[in-house]
């Protein structure tokens, strides 16, 4: 039987990779985290989605998202090779309050997070941003596009989310690879700028 070389399969890491970077993709329930990770991952993303049950309806707010039938119960995981020596790991964290204990482990080793937000439910982003601040994790915010969602100016969204002036705020469509890439770039540029500004 012939074996497939790792470099040919696209599944395994290149032998030249020396550095791995971990970033989180976070946000409230049903904001598009699974879709975002899936649109960027070069490998088939690991998903831990389960069918939503009637019991979940008692704790998960389905207002405005009546067509949602599944939810992430642990995490999403994707990979993106940036160069011969650098690979990026994306971890999507579930947004419901009952999964916050998972954050203890998921934030370890992460350089930062991209917070996905929905203009129909901006207030639900506060708990997520609060957790990131609690863990000392820098973040950027990407407003995910949803059909029929109200449009607001950047200034209005910044004020509604009480963002610091230096916190990046962009818009994206989690379904689109190019759009998702641009959102991720905004986070990476922010993290790089913070690193170069920190005193040695």
Q: What is the pLDDT of residues 32-50, one digit of tens each?
A: 999 999 999 999 887 555 5
Q: Which two tokens stand for residue 144?
A: 């995910």
Q: Percent of the chain scored above 70 by pLDDT?
A: 76
H runs (alpha helix) in the chain: 6-9, 33-40, 100-106, 125-134, 154-161, 177-197
Tokens 């930062």 locate to 112
Cut 0.85: pTM above it: no
Contact residues for 97 (Cβ-Cβ < 8 A; gap 6+) = 127
Mutual orientation of helices 177-197 and 33-40 as an angle, nearest 10°? 90
Compare 94 and 116 and report the one with higher pLDDT.
Answer: 116
143-194 pLDDT tens trace: 999 988 999 999 999 999 999 999 999 999 999 999 999 999 999 999 999 9
**114-140: average pLDDT:** 94
Rounded Cα distance between 29 and 148, Å, is: 18
Do β-strands 139-144 and 70-81 pair in parallel, antiparallel, or remain unpaired? Answer: unpaired
47-66 pLDDT tens trace: 555 554 554 444 545 555 55
């Amino acid at each position: 039987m012939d074996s497939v070389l790792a470099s040919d399969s696209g599944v395994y890491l290149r032998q030249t990779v020396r550095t791995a970077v971990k970033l989180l993709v976070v946000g409230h329930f049903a904001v598009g985290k699974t879709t975002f990770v899936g649109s960027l991952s070069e490998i088939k993303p690991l998903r831990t989605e389960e069918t939503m049950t009637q019991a979940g309806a008692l704790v998960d707010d389905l207002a405005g998202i009546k067509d949602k039938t599944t939810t992430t119960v642990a995490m999403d995981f994707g990979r993106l090779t940036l160069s011969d020596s650098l690979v990026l790991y994306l971890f999507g964290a579930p947004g419901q309050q009952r999964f916050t204990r998972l954050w203890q482990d998921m934030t370890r080793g992460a350089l930062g997070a991209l917070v996905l937000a929905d203009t129909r439910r901006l207030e639900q982003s506060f708990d997520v941003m609060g957790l990131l601040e609690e863990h000392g994790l820098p973040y950027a915010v990407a407003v995910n596009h949803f059909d029929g969602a109200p449009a607001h100016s950047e200034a209005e969204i910044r004020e509604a989310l009480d963002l610091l002036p230096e916190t990046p705020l962009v818009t994206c469509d989690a379904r689109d690879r190019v759009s998702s890439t641009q959102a991720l770039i905004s986070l990476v540029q922010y993290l790089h700028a913070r690193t170069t500004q920190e005193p040695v």
